[in-house]
Amino acid sequence: MGSPCSDCGGQVAYQTLSREFEREGMTVSVSGIRALVCQQCGEVYFEPGGAQALVEAADSLFRLGQWNRQHKGKLSAAVPA
Ligand SMILES: [Zn+2]
């Protein structure tokens, strides 16, 4: 905390985000991701391992969608608070 944005020098604060990923016509969304966001330019800083965990969560949803043969539509998951 307290470390300014390395992009613009603005203040960063924790926010809860959601992210959508699209692959082969399928959209998945992961919500409840806690990350530091610059209040000035909107740059997102994930905690160590956070970005990787997010990608893994999206991959899991894509696998679930393929397993369900749900090639269209949208899957979503929320990270427990
Ligand atoms: Zn910034």
Residue-wise pLDDT tens digits, 36-70: 999 999 999 998 888 898 999 999 999 988 887 75
Which residue matches tokens 């969304």?
A: 29
Q: What is the mean pLDDT of residues 13-21?
A: 94
| 28 C-alpha to ligand 1 centroid (Å) | 27
For ligand 1, the distance from its centroid to the CA atom of residue 74, given in whole angstroms, is 31
- Where do the H-state alpha helices sit in 1-81? 50-67
**Is residue 29 within 8 Å of residue 74, measured between CB atoms?**
yes
To which H or E segment does residue 44 belong?
Answer: strand 44-45
Instruction: Tell me how far the alpha carbon of residue 48 lies from the centroid of ligand 1, in angstroms.
Output: 19
pTM, entire model:
0.72
Question: CA-CA distance, 42 to 28, in Å (whole number)?
Answer: 22
Burial category of 61 from C-beta neighbours within 10 Å (exposed 0-12, middle 13-18, buried 19 and up): buried
16 alpha carbon to ligand 1 midpoint, in Å?
A: 17
Please, what are the domains in the chain? 12-78 (3.10.20)
